[in-house]
Structure 1
Amino acid sequence: MNQLPTGLWPVMLTPFKDDNSIDIDGIKNLTEFYIAAGADGLFANCLSSEMFQLTDEERLLVTKTVVATANTRVPVIATGSFSAEINTSASFIKQLYDLGVAAAVISTSQPCNELETDEEFKMKMENLMDQTGNIPLGLYECPVPYKRLVSSETLKWLAESGRFYYHKDTSCILDCIKEKIKAVEGTNLGIYNAHVPTGVESIRLGARGLSPIAANLYPELFSYLLKNLNDTGKQQEIEHLNNVLDIMDTIIHHNYPFTAKLFLQNRGLGITRNGRIPRLAMSTHDYNKLDAIMREFRQLSEELEIDIIQFKHKEITL
């Protein structure tokens, strides 16, 4: 059995320059930041990366930069499906795999529209598998253009093919996640939960890791949480940290990914706040809440003696 690592898998941002072109140096610095903060794997070219606002060439450039910067220290996966045309997705998946990704991820909302059944979804997935040889694959219940949740029965069928290694679950329902964990038991496929409120419990039920957007802002906290989850001497601290992360998560979704870039900029990372996704105006109250998250992050880090990444002249140090 060959599974992807357990632990923290941040869903990566894409830094842009002032003219909104791809910031290659920013991607390199961001990749180093995630790894230094304790990431066990990286999900490049995902919704947090503004993947639908990128061209195919830019998607490949972003992924290539992350893979080269990670340089096998952690595995990198990336989304490979941007069309309902299976031939088109298969071709792009092959290009991604040639860049060195550990798995090419299929957005579950791409092969079929909202009206197509699970059986039609399975038929198209089978076609896609046939056209992509032995390339390792993943699944992403992306909410754009609509959210198609994969049933535990369909997930079991896909897992038993031996081709799937990563499933980013966005159901946000613990009972559903539990069913999926049971369905893929004994296969290569691991469940990676995007939902912070059910995160810890899902890990204890057998999920292999977390892929929350909050890991873009303060990955050190999630790394500490996962690495110390079973430490009997730290259960009080873990419970407190998990509760605070849950509360913080309710705030950071507003105007994301702008808020994540702003937060990292305020931490000292040399990236702009620019993005290609239109955002709402931020009120003074909104900025104050983000400042409160920063204070809570630093206080938690101090209380739990967590080494947080410091940025100096765009270089990363502990």
Structure 2
Amino acid sequence: MNKNKKFIPVMLMPFFEDGKIDYMALSQLIEFYLAHGAAGLFANCLSSEMYHLTQEEMIQSVSFIVKTVDGRVPVVATGTFEDTIANQASFVKEIYNTGVESVIVITSLLAKETDTEEVFQANVHQLLTLTDDIPLGFYECPLPYKRIIDPSFLGQLVQYGRIKYHKDTSLDINHVGAKLLATRSSEDFGLYDAYMVHAVDSLLTGSAGLSCIQGNYFPELVVWLCNNYNKEEQINKVQKVQHFFQRNMDVMHDSYPTSAKYILGKRKLKLGVYCRNRNYVLDEKVKQDLDNLYLDFEAVCNQLGIDTSLSMIA
């Protein structure tokens, strides 16, 4: 309960305007995350536009991230995609060979939306059997649909000693609590919450930390919350930060991840705003909303005593 809480960013993927991966920008982004206190990196995730990458690009980009990080923090990466369980297991091995600490399994790709819980659990066990001793984690990715893992089943899986990570997207603090209760016997497992609306409650309940898209805008605020959530002398400031994320939830989700790249551009990162998913093009109203969001961020940082000029990487 009193362990240090960690922020694990769900990494963005920078692209050139022609759609190719911009590795120089990716290197800068890695340093940005680490400079702001990220305790690990979640590569090849939905924020990385993983469904718009080829498997070759996944392997290359994850390998680049692992090499650039060079052991400074753990790196995890998604390794299952829509295919047979056997083929998913083969790709898990390929991702693991890049040097990541754990390979993340997407729950909604291990069974169809219409499949029963029994089918899902059988497929999980099959994947475990086919992936030897590779450390794994689960990600309740909202696409192609969201499959929330049952707390008791997660507790059973953690007993095997191979499940190290869970990215929770249940949006339900009671469900988070049930998962934490079911997995409490494992010291090597961490549940990371994606839902910033109840971030403080989740940390107080016992989650290992936060893994949220908001960290792709303002990682230092997420890290500050992880460091101060339970300090009585900081309670007023903790509430201000929690309220900042709550009131800006919609603007940070609208047009994401393009919107996050726009904000990082204001922070002097040279990522551009191009996304392969062209559904999220910024119009003038959205830009104005994001400009206001940035002003709100600066105001909160002033109240916390965070110098935002130090957080810009040229």
TM band (smaller chain):
over 0.9
Rounded Cα–Cα distance in structure 2 between residues aligned with 1:148 and 1:222: 26
- Asked if 1:156 corresponds to 2:155, the answer is yes
Listed as ranges, the matches of 1:93-112 within 5 Å are: 93-112=92-111
Rounded Cα–Cα distance in structure 1 between residues aligned with 2:64 and 2:307: 27
CA contact (8 A) 1:11 1:43 kept: yes
Q: Which residue of 2 aligns with 1:199?
A: 199
Q: Which residue of 2 aligns with 1:273?
A: 273
Rounded Cα–Cα distance in structure 1 between residues aligned with 2:281 and 2:271: 20
Listed as ranges, the matches of 1:202-217 within 5 Å are: 202-217=202-217
Rounded Cα–Cα distance in structure 2 between residues aligned with 1:56 and 1:239: 42
CA contact (8 A) 2:6 2:210 kept: yes
> How far off is 1:98 after superposition?
1.2
Q: Which residue of 2 aligns with 1:224?
A: 224
**1:32/1:280 Cα in 2 relative to 1: closer, same or farther (>3 Å)?**
closer
Q: Which residue of 1 aligns with 2:80?
A: 81
Tell me, what secondary structure is at the counterpart of 1:165? Answer: strand
Q: Which residue of 2 aligns with 1:316?
A: none
- Asked if 1:253 corresponds to 2:288, the answer is no
> How far off is 1:286 after superposition?
1.7
Rounded Cα–Cα distance in structure 2 between residues aligned with 1:183 and 1:153: 6
Tell me, what secondary structure is at the counterpart of 2:197? Answer: coil
Look up the equivalent residue of 2:313 and give its one-letter code. F
> How far off is 1:285 after superposition?
2.3
> How far off is 1:84 after superposition?
3.4
CA contact (8 A) 2:110 2:123 kept: yes
Q: Which residue of 2 aligns with 1:315?
A: none
- Asked if 1:128 corresponds to 2:130, the answer is no
Rounded Cα–Cα distance in structure 2 between residues aligned with 1:18 and 1:114: 35
CA contact (8 A) 2:258 2:282 kept: no
User: Cα deviation per residue 1:50-89 (whole Å; 9 max; x = unaligned)?
Assistant: 0000000111111111111111111010000012311111
User: Cα deviation per residue 1:144-187 (whole Å; 9 max; x = unaligned)?
Assistant: 11111111122112112211011111010111111111111112
CA contact (8 A) 2:10 2:43 kept: yes
Q: Which runs of 5+ in 2 are unaligned?
A: none
In the alignment of these two chains, the number of paired residues is: 309
CA contact (8 A) 2:256 2:280 kept: no
Rounded Cα–Cα distance in structure 2 between residues aligned with 1:100 and 1:185: 28
TM-score, L = length of structure 1:
0.94
Q: Which runs of 5+ in 1 are unaligned?
A: 313-318
Larger displacement relative to structure 2 (224-233 or 191-200)? 224-233
Listed as ranges, the matches of 1:1-318 within 5 Å are: 6-187=5-186, 188-308=188-308, 309-312=311-314
Rounded Cα–Cα distance in structure 1 between residues aligned with 2:178 and 2:12: 30
> How far off is 1:307 after superposition?
4.1
> How far off is 1:280 after superposition?
4.3
> How far off is 1:13 after superposition?
0.3
> How far off is 1:7 after superposition?
0.9
User: Cα deviation per residue 1:244-297 (whole Å; 9 max; x = unaligned)?
Assistant: 121122211011101011111121101111111122454432211100111111
Rounded Cα–Cα distance in structure 1 between residues aligned with 2:13 and 2:221: 21
Look up the equivalent residue of 2:236 and give its one-letter code. Q
CA contact (8 A) 2:259 2:282 kept: no
Larger displacement relative to structure 2 (265-274 or 136-145)? 265-274
Rounded Cα–Cα distance in structure 1 between residues aligned with 2:131 and 2:205: 32
Give identity over the alignment, percent. 37
CA contact (8 A) 1:17 1:272 kept: yes
Look up the equivalent residue of 1:200 and give its one-letter code. V
**1:49/1:87 Cα in 2 relative to 1: closer, same or farther (>3 Å)?**
same
Look up the equivalent residue of 2:109 and give its one-letter code. Q
Rounded Cα–Cα distance in structure 2 between residues aligned with 1:268 and 1:311: 6
Look up the equivalent residue of 2:130 and give its one-letter code. Q
CA contact (8 A) 2:74 2:100 kept: yes
Look up the equivalent residue of 1:102 and give its one-letter code. E
Look up the equivalent residue of 2:312 and give its one-letter code. Q
Rounded Cα–Cα distance in structure 2 between residues aligned with 1:88 and 1:110: 12
Rounded Cα–Cα distance in structure 1 between residues aligned with 2:189 and 2:6: 14
TM-score, L = length of structure 2:
0.95
Rounded Cα–Cα distance in structure 2 between residues aligned with 1:231 and 1:70: 31
CA contact (8 A) 1:220 1:307 kept: no
